[in-house]
Amino acid sequence: MEIRDVATDDLDALWDLSDRAFGPIPRSERERAKAPVLEAIDDGRVLGCYDGGRLVGSGRYLPMEQWWHGAAVPMGGVASVYVTPEERGRGVGARLAGELVELIAKRGMPLSMLYPATAPVYRRVGFEHAGGQYWITLPAEALRTLGAGPVKVRRAGPDDAAEVVEVLARAHRTARDSGPFDRGIGHTRHILSAPDTYAYLAEDGFLHYRWNGDATGLVVDRAVAASAETARALWSVVGSGSSTARTVRACVSPYDPLLWQLRDRSEDDLCRRSWMLRVVDAPAAIAARGFPAHVATEIMIGVEDESRPGNAGTWLLSVSGGRGTLTRTDEPAAVRVPARGLAALFAGVPVATLRRSGLLEGGDEATDLTAAFTATAFAVDEF
Ligand SMILES: CC(C)(COP(=O)(O)OP(=O)(O)OC[C@H]1O[C@@H](n2cnc3c(N)ncnc32)[C@H](O)[C@@H]1OP(=O)(O)O)[C@@H](O)C(=O)NCCC(=O)NCCS
């Protein structure tokens, strides 16, 4: 078995793998998916596992930037990992995941994330549970009664892609968010041209929603606003449909301002889907991440990382003035983490949790790390 770039001629074999892994995709969706897949193949971002000339598995990455404490970090999102049923359970999936991490490293991206259908495959190569994608279900009436307020919003279309990217970046930067990602103007244009979806734009906010499958409710894929008034205006657009759409399912942050704007919130119906992170290049990832401006700490961290030896060894982590650095040192480590522990720490999982789950060893000095890496990592987009 050999892992190499998927050939354009193997597109049908790729669809066949995908159908058998995730179920058939409707023809119309496949047509829309074709151009981005061909672009990814051309860009050398789709790997295939070949047994001779037969494609038996595949996986790809999508280039993006992920916000970490308000700073954009280049990140490769691993997607569409599948192995043909008759070859499963023989290490192909883990090999593909490992090769994708190497490819992401080669392309200069210090982080990788993915939504796992199953975690063990990815844990094998250093990914760990890091953040969540949160969905809340609400009565549409609860949004209608928020009241539209003075902020004007307008319908947005594919030509607004650059402005949407800019509005979202500003909102995530100023909120010091961790986890949401930006897939660029081209992808945003693709999203804004999707059939049967509706988008609205304000000076400091963006809303994107659609009907659910049986048109009894609405699904909000994204509603991000930098001010309370704009949040109210955007959510009111959704709530205005309450006479026909009884419920709204919305992708939110667990600290989404909406949850504090609702008139009543005694019981949340909030679902969490986990996503995993891999620190691909530790010094570059730390240098690109944002940190709380008031935290100043220095600590020796020992990292074990068999599959990315460049991350392994003892590092001096310095955090001050909102930035961080990792510098190699010969001093003894005060704290030790495996690659998976480093990923979870990076994503804001508290030291007490890491220690008690066996993902971090070390003394009291580690306590400062919780304050340095503090984050409630959430993601909004699917991929
Ligand atoms: C998930 C999938 C890619 C795994 O591929 P594979 O070649 O069978 O996986 P591997 O043989 O490399 O297994 C690697 C590890 O994952 C574990 N694993 C594999 N499939 C698993 C599953 N369905 N549930 C739980 N663990 C699983 C293996 O036991 C092994 O664990 P170990 O490291 O403890 O030994 C494959 O089953 C598949 O294509 N499934 C359908 C599509 C899918 O779910 N893709 C994942 C999208 S995120």
Residue of 101, 121, 128, 133 with the most ligand 1 atoms within 8 Å of its CB, for mutation: 121
> 168 and 257, same structural domain?
yes
The answer to whether residue 1 scores a pLDDT higher than 80 is: yes
Which atom number of ligand 1 is nearest to the Cα of residue 22? 42
What percentage of the chain carries pLDDT values higher than 90? 92
The answer to whether residue 363 scores a pLDDT higher than 80 is: no
Number of domains the chain is built from: 3
The Å distance, Cα 127 to ligand 1 centre, comes to 14
> 260 and 150, same structural domain?
yes
3-state secondary structure (DSSP) of residue 205? strand
Sign of CA dihedral 325, 331, 336, 337: positive
> 164 and 85, same structural domain?
no
The answer to whether residue 366 scores a pLDDT higher than 80 is: no
What is the CATH number for 296? 3.30.1050.10
Final residue of a domain: which of 273, 296, 318? 273
> 348 and 262, same structural domain?
no
Quick: pLDDT tens for 79-121: 999 999 999 999 999 999 999 999 999 999 999 999 999 999 9
Range of the domain at 365: 281-372
Among residues 6, 101, 9, the alpha carbon closest in space to that of 46 is found at 6
> 138 and 258, same structural domain?
yes
The structure's pTM equals 0.96
Report which protein residue has its CA nearest ligand 1's atom 43.
82
For residue 379, being part of any structural domain is answered with no
Confidence band of 27 (pLDDT split at 50, 70, 90): confident
Quick: pLDDT tens for 256-271: 999 999 998 888 889 9
> 259 and 198, same structural domain?
yes
pLDDT at residue 149, rounded to an integer:
86
Final residue of a domain: which of 126, 159, 184? 126
The Å distance, Cα 190 to ligand 1 centre, comes to 31
Cα distance between residue 53 and residue 51, in whole Å: 6
> 89 and 144, same structural domain?
no
Q: Across the chain, where does the E strand assignment appear?
A: 2-5, 46-51, 54-68, 71-83, 111-114, 128-139, 154-155, 181-182, 197-202, 205-211, 217-225, 247-252, 270-279, 297-304, 313-320, 323-328, 335-338, 361-362
What is the CATH number for 38? 3.40.630.30
Final residue of a domain: which of 273, 291, 324? 273
Confirm if 61 and 112 have CB atoms less than 8 A apart: yes
pLDDT at residue 136, rounded to an integer:
96
Quick: pLDDT tens for 223-265: 999 999 999 999 999 999 999 999 999 999 999 999 999 998 8
For residue 324, being part of any structural domain is answered with yes
Report which protein residue has its CA nearest ligand 1's atom 41.
21
The Å distance, Cα 9 to ligand 1 centre, comes to 26
For residue 27, being part of any structural domain is answered with yes
Mean pLDDT of 126-145: 96
pLDDT at residue 335, rounded to an integer:
96
| CA atoms within 13 Å, Cβ hemisphere of 95 | 18
> 148 and 114, same structural domain?
no
For residue 383, being part of any structural domain is answered with no
Neighbours of 212 (CB within 10 A): 13
> 338 and 303, same structural domain?
yes
Which atom number of ligand 1 is nearest to the Cα of residue 92? 7
For residue 243, being part of any structural domain is answered with yes
